[in-house]
Amino acid sequence: MKYVDEYRDGALAKRIAAAIAAEARSDRRYHFMEFCGGHTHAISRYGIEDLLPRGVRMIHGPGCPVCVLPVGRMDDAIRLAQRPGVTLCTYGDLMRVPGSDGSSLLKAKAAGADIRMVYSTLDALKIAAAEPGREVVFFAIGFETTTPPTAVAIETAARRGLKNFTIFCNHVLTPAAIRAIMESPEAKRGEVSLDGFVGPAHVSTVIGTAPYGFCAAQYGKPVVVAGFEPLDVMHAILMLVRQVNEGRTEIENQYIRAVTPEGNRTAQALVAKLFEPRESFEWRGLGEVPFGALRLREDYASFDAERRFGIVTVPARDNPACDCGAILRGVKRPADCRLFGTACTPETPMGSCMVSSEGACAAHWTYGRFRQHARAREAGVVEGASA
């Protein structure tokens, strides 16, 4: 295949769906978690769940860096932006994520804080160079995919002597989160049944497939790294069904056009040069995840906003009525949240899963998946979220 339309071929999708239906055993259920929010949106957008047999169930994971950012870190960013002389540069999808008291970066901006939406780290560098009298802080967030660009920005700032540029580092690590899911209380009690994972695509272009080996070795769960197109996802599901049927627990790569076992060694070396793992970092929904995030090394401490401004995160609770945490762990579906579609919509989001363009709630709302589940529930044919 050469062109994107070929990865959206309806006739081929039906053939893959028929293969899944033929190979999925009628005497068992299959529960697969797609870790990445990009996969969640592909599943919802292209109606992939509608093509799967009833025994094959997709469970949404925590694969959205905006969604998993804990409330306390949002509070930190808001307070940082409100400091005199500080310009906070951030991506647009963070602007409306609620803080602990209903505040947000958007509300702080409306109240006078200097918060600017940027499209890349280079935009933040340009602001720092153009306004040397202000402290420019880049709100660095994302999985392994977006960490290398942040590292490039820091090296560029060092080379140019931009002493007014720092980052508020919230880069998190995917394998640690998968381990946390497997170690969650619900998983240990059997309340969340998982037979395998659809591994993230963009993340794996950087880290490769090798870091997921523990999932098969320690937990007996296969991982198939997949691209974001609908045929990619369906092919990965078929590969997982085959592994389960054959009793195999392997790390397979469906996304061979972009992912290799070793990943991008140049990007990995750059990240390792500038960053080191934190001993622990809170993920929304998962709690404290050991070695689940990165921080700048001591050699680059002058570019660390947490050190320059003495930021100490105060843990804060999510809105108690919001089920984002349970959705991110795979315990609930978006439509199971009592706020979904009522108090919580894209126009009035109560939680990060509805704000982010990759959030599971946003996907269900945008593509109308919640209507399908509501009809099924009325007909009495929907399983529980962790069945």
Parent domain of 353 = 324-363
Q: Do 52 and 35 share a structural domain?
A: yes
Instruction: Judge whether 141 lies within some domain.
Output: yes
Q: Do 79 and 195 share a structural domain?
A: no
Instruction: Judge whether 378 lies within some domain.
Output: no
Residue with tokens 């929010």: 37
Q: What is the predicted pLDDT for the residue at 230? A: 95
Instruction: Judge whether 258 lies within some domain.
Output: no
Q: Do 246 and 352 share a structural domain?
A: no
Give 120: exposed, middle or buried? Use CB within 10 Å, 0-12, 13-18, 19+: middle
Cβ partners under 8 Å of residue 266, min gap 6: none
- Residue where a domain terminates, one of 253, 278, 297: 253
Q: Do 163 and 77 share a structural domain?
A: yes
- Residue where a domain terminates, one of 278, 308, 338: 308
- Residue where a domain terminates, one of 208, 234, 253: 253
Distance set, CA 52 to CA 49, 56, 87, 235, 385 (Å): 5, 6, 48, 12, 17
User: At 157, which helix (H) or strand (E)?
Assistant: helix 147-160
Instruction: Judge whether 139 lies within some domain.
Output: yes
- Reference 303, options 195, 159, 199; nearest CA is 159
Q: What is the predicted pLDDT for the residue at 1? A: 57
- pLDDT tens, the chain, 387 aa long: 566 778 888 999 999 999 999 999 999 999 999 989 999 999 999 999 999 999 999 999 998 899 999 999 999 999 999 999 999 999 998 999 999 988 999 999 999 999 999 999 999 999 999 999 999 999 999 999 999 999 999 999 999 999 999 999 999 999 999 999 999 888 888 888 899 999 999 999 999 999 999 999 999 999 999 999 999 999 999 999 999 999 999 999 999 999 999 999 999 999 999 999 999 999 999 999 999 999 999 999 999 999 999 999 988 888 889 999 999 988 999 989 999 988 998 888 888 999 887 899 999 888 876 665 544 445 554 444 433
Q: What is the predicted pLDDT for the residue at 315? A: 86
Cβ partners under 8 Å of residue 245, min gap 6: 23, 25
Q: Do 223 and 127 share a structural domain?
A: no
Instruction: Judge whether 97 lies within some domain.
Output: yes
Instruction: Judge whether 179 lies within some domain.
Output: no
Residue 135, CB-side half-sphere exposure with 13 Å CA sphere: 19
| CATH for 94 | 3.40.50.11740
Total structural domains in the chain? 3
Instruction: Judge whether 226 lies within some domain.
Output: yes
Q: Do 106 and 73 share a structural domain?
A: yes
Return the SS3 of 262.
coil
Q: What is the predicted pLDDT for the residue at 189? A: 85
Q: What is the predicted pLDDT for the residue at 318? A: 83
Return the SS3 of 180.
helix
3-state helix, strand, coil in the chain (%, to 5): 45, 20, 35
Q: Do 128 and 270 share a structural domain?
A: yes
Q: Do 164 and 71 share a structural domain?
A: yes
Q: Do 150 and 123 share a structural domain?
A: yes
Q: What is the predicted pLDDT for the residue at 319? A: 84
Instruction: Judge whether 74 lies within some domain.
Output: yes
| CATH for 200 | 3.40.50.11750
Q: Do 228 and 100 share a structural domain?
A: no
Q: Do 293 and 246 share a structural domain?
A: no
Q: Do 158 and 281 share a structural domain?
A: yes
User: At 328, which helix (H) or strand (E)?
Assistant: helix 324-328
